[in-house]
Amino acid sequence: MSMSVSVNWDGDDRFKATTGSGFDITIDKDLQQGPRPMELMLAGLGGCTSVDVVGILRKARQDVVNCVADIQAERSDEVPSVFTEIHVKFTVSGRKLKPAAVERAVRLSAEQYCSASLMLERGGVKISHSFDIIEVE
């Protein structure tokens, strides 16, 4: 499977990325019109693992109504300032969610399914996960 993105300079420290699927994203080092490139990497990780977790929980017939992945990352002090540690905390809301099912979904995403997470770990980034469950009516 191949993917593509075209990134075009849009002046100053700003770039416009156009994905192969037709979406535009403004990238801006100065945070005037878009996120920084490394923030986009974290967003990609969060999106990738969240899709997995929600999909696994749905397949397990868990009544999920919301899932938030809050991601905190540390970067090295030296250039290149790569990620050294990332923590993903899921807050999963639903009706009568089983903690074992949520734990399993998070673990399967981290260990088998999330390409972004696995790629970062293979590059030496330490990634940890946790979760909270919120019961809703």
Give the domain extent around 99: 37-135
Co-location of 65 and 97 in the same domain:
yes
Co-location of 128 and 90 in the same domain:
yes
What are the pLDDT digits (tens) for 1-23? 999 999 999 999 999 999 999 99
Q: Is the peptide bond before 99 cis (omega within 30 degrees of 0)?
A: no
Co-location of 31 and 86 in the same domain:
no
| pTM, to two decimals | 0.94
Low-confidence ranges of the chain (pLDDT < 50): none
pLDDT value, residue 87: 98
Co-location of 65 and 128 in the same domain:
yes
pLDDT value, residue 55: 98
pLDDT value, residue 121: 97
Asked if 116 contacts 49 with a C-beta cutoff of 8 angstroms, the reply is yes
